[in-house]
Structure 1
Amino acid sequence: MKTNRRTFLGGVSTVAVLSASGASFAQGAKKYSDGATDTEIKIGHTNPYSGPASAYGVIGKTLQAYWKYVNEQGGINGRKIDFITLDDGYSPPKTVELVRQLVEQDKVLCLFNTLGTPTNTAIHKYMNAKKVPQLYVATGASKWGKPKEFPWTMGFQPDYHTEAVIYAKHMLANVKDAKIGVLMQNDDYGKDYWEGLRDGLGKEVGRVVKHVTYEVTDPTVDSQVIQLKDSGANVFFNISTPKFAAQAMRKAGDIGWKPAQYLNNVSVSVATVMKPAGFDNVQGVITAAYLMDPTDSQWDGNDDMKAWKAWMTKHNSGASLSDGSNVFAYAVAHLMHETLKRCGNELTRENLMKQAASFKKFKLPMLLPGITISTSPTDFYPIQAVQLQRFKGESWELFGDVMHAESS
């Protein structure tokens, strides 16, 4: 992406798959914070269109397509969305610089779905000091669900700690004499998963025989994977972003290491991870899911999936239908859309957070059956359930029951 900034002006009234609840809004005096007017709502966003996490750039592009589509429909309650998305390259100092620009110069109403644990951590205190909503961040770190300390920040996806606890329990129950090797990105994102694994193992934490890390600036993780194989590990917990996740699973295959593999949910895209890793190398890999996977044929007749594919074909035609990141972006954009719609004519930052914290078992498009959105003033974890899935052939296959998070 050559430019550092992309802006779309436009609007949306309703989307067919959105709930009718909250569609009507209070008449009377209009109230606005910075970033909102009678005709416009200004939203800020950062994403790694370049750099080591650029595989996530598709999320930003799909969000752009969504808000453009919304604008073509007429806007939210008659207001067009000005979506300003900037490339931070997954670099926290760059994120700080760009977010200051969005808040202080562009004067956005809020940030939406800013991507990355280290990058969001870098702006966490700033956003709360400024009292600007940092909504539905694209990271599952458990810190985004602490309304008492950080009332202006809310997560979206299930938290990493809980996800890792689930993997730990599955390892202990299903792998005989488990000897666990861990590859971890050396930052807050990786550490959240690592702590969850240790907590989930409990008194069995000694089963971790090797724990290696990498930096996002590293060219490869080949040497780390060799160390894990040499440790005698028969379980591989892969805590890495797409580029490194694919590298690690391919390298394991190349050196003939065949452990039971567990992959963090943030790297489950068939298009950007599993296929580049080599389908032969990823058979049986286990992960946790909360969204329908577009490669899973069981959803072919599902109304949500059919609507998503039709929308993608018409409004985001250059994007891959096998990349789960496009499902993620579509789903979280619908949640933001509904939140803004519920604000009615009171487009203040306070009311935006109030509406975000008022969902009750809301059915969001593309969530797995049995998983809904619920929030409250004391609960900033919108999604608190997952289901395990296993890679088979060239797609993911769900198994077991929907499991609810510890925080629920």
Structure 2
Amino acid sequence: MRSAATMGLATALVLAASSPAVKAAEMRGVTATEIRIGQTMPYSGPVSAFGALGRGEAGYFKMLNERGGINGRRIVLISLDDGYTPPKTVEQTRRLVESDEVALIFSSIGTAHNSAIAKYLQSKNIPQLFVGSGASKFADVAQYPQATVGVQAPFRYEARLYARYALEKNPNAKFAVISQNDDYGRDYLLGLKDVLGEKYDSVVTGATYEVTDPAIDSQIVKLKASGAEVFVIAATPKFAAQAIRKAYEIGWRPMTFLSSTAVWISTVMQPAGLEAGTGILSAAYVKDPDDPAWADDAGVKGWRAFMTKYVPDGDPHDTNYVNAYNSAMTLEAVLKACGDDLSTENILKQAFAIHDLELPMLLPGIRINTSPTDHVPVDQMQFMRFNGKTWQRFGALQTGN
């Protein structure tokens, strides 16, 4: 009798240990009813316009939770302000990991900022997914084994496309570049070097700015004096608007390329002056809700309905909200694929095994793909030109890898 009772108790303990509730207790940031994820956002500071990404992602997860969450678990997004300063990013990320005990870090903004927290997250075995940056460095699997580039084409790929296009029009073109003095800006320079090769030093004049600078007028005057026929603006919204406006005011009309991070009409093109931006080139990977071509598109209609209900205070002309929608939808697909196994190992396994994921707000033909050796979700873009009112796409999809 004593032996049978002991066996019965042992069986009960084994069954209890394999129950979903116990498994959840063993997975960081996961309970039987919720999944906690964390991020840092520049809700204040020089690039506070990017705070729209966090607000859009919060709205998406609110919608998702109203629909039952993911596999019965609600998503708890803890989004903290870092003012776009790397030391604050580190401080807030430590809080997310050590106090809030999140399962993963998702879509934190900034190249230098994600670089600053990468080793710490690796030491804590925390996934760093779909970083809020298109820096190609995060595709380096050896250096960033637990990270993926954001749901956007990498900056280096983008710059390669600009250089190729400019050289097709003028093989002897000289380039001028205004870039942010950090890894974000340097990624564009690397892309130009990839195409220009040994000619780079002789045909490129560069100027940089710090995110704390009040203005960049003197840099633009210097770049005009170089005689460059091509102008690349590798800048965040505030400084992109200044660059466009100053070039226009001093009568400089080179072939101009604008970073895809600064194409927003309400926060860049309008402040710069719509006439000043007419003719500027950039590249797109998402649908622009203001583009008449998408007036009857089901994906855009769905996004507009989402904005109306879940982000009612958001600017429907700000494509940051489109990027937020895409990023949150991609993470949703990863977590769904995890099923009930939300361990770090399985989250990373699923994040690096996305195959031909179609998102309703990506341009037709662009799909999300990752693998254990490819941590770049998007590598295609399409050229577009600003016509004084909106962006007009042209040509076929281009690959910058």
User: Could you say whether these structures have the same fold, taking a TM-score greater than 0.5 normalized by the shorter chain as the test?
Assistant: yes
1:93 is matched with 87
What amino acid sits opposite 1:125 in the alignment? K
Deviation at 1:206, TM superposition (A): 4.8
Q: TM-score, normalised by structure 1?
A: 0.90
What amino acid sits opposite 1:399 in the alignment? F
Deviation at 1:128, TM superposition (A): 1.3
Q: TM-score, normalised by structure 2?
A: 0.92
Question: In 2, distance between residues paired with 1:172 and 1:404?
Answer: 17
Counterpart of 1:69 (choices 52, 63, 66) is: 63
| Conserved 8 A contact 2:160-2:400 | no
Question: In 2, distance between residues paired with 1:127 and 1:279?
Answer: 43
> Matched residue of 2:282: which SS?
strand
2:11 is matched with none
2:395 pairs with 1:389: no
Gaps of 5+ in 2: 1-17
2:342 pairs with 1:363: no
| Conserved 8 A contact 1:135-1:153 | yes
What amino acid sits opposite 1:243 in the alignment? K
| Conserved 8 A contact 1:180-1:207 | no
Q: Which has the larger radius of gyration?
A: 2
| Aligned residues with identical type, % of pairs | 47
Deviation at 1:231, TM superposition (A): 1.8
Question: In 1, distance between residues paired with 2:204 and 2:326?
Answer: 38
> Matched residue of 1:346: which SS?
coil
2:40 is matched with 46
Counterpart of 1:111 (choices 105, 110, 124) is: 105
> Matched residue of 1:151: which SS?
coil
Deviation at 1:148, TM superposition (A): 3.2
Question: In 1, distance between residues paired with 2:143 and 2:52?
Answer: 32
| Conserved 8 A contact 2:157-2:399 | no
Counterpart of 2:313 (choices 318, 322, 333) is: 318
**How do residues 320-339 of structure 1 correspond to structure 2 at under 5 angstroms?**
320-339=315-334
1:189 is matched with 184
Deviation at 1:310, TM superposition (A): 1.3
**How do residues 2-401 of structure 1 correspond to structure 2 at under 5 angstroms?**
29=20, 30-31=23-24, 32-156=26-150, 157-175=152-170, 177-206=172-201, 208-401=203-396
| Conserved 8 A contact 1:334-1:365 | no
What amino acid sits opposite 1:342 in the alignment? A
Deviation at 1:147, TM superposition (A): 2.4
- The count of corresponding residues between Structure 1 and Structure 2 is 380
Measured against aligned partners, the alpha-carbon deviations of 1:7-63 in whole angstroms (never above 9, x if no partner) come to xxxxxxxxxxxxxxxxxxxx9754542100100100101010111111101111111
Question: In 2, distance between residues paired with 1:34 and 1:254?
Answer: 55
What amino acid sits opposite 2:376 in the alignment? Y
Question: In 2, distance between residues paired with 1:342 and 1:127?
Answer: 23
| Conserved 8 A contact 1:172-1:201 | no
> Matched residue of 1:347: which SS?
coil
Question: In 1, distance between residues paired with 2:141 and 2:227?
Answer: 43
> Matched residue of 1:46: which SS?
strand
Question: In 2, distance between residues paired with 1:80 and 1:138?
Answer: 23
What amino acid sits opposite 1:130 in the alignment? K
What amino acid sits opposite 1:105 in the alignment? S
What amino acid sits opposite 2:298 in the alignment? D
Deviation at 1:398, TM superposition (A): 0.8
Moved more, 212-221 or 192-201: 192-201
Gaps of 5+ in 1: 1-26
Measured against aligned partners, the alpha-carbon deviations of 1:50-106 in whole angstroms (never above 9, x if no partner) come to 111111011111111111222222211111111100000110000000001101111
Moved more, 167-176 or 352-361: 167-176
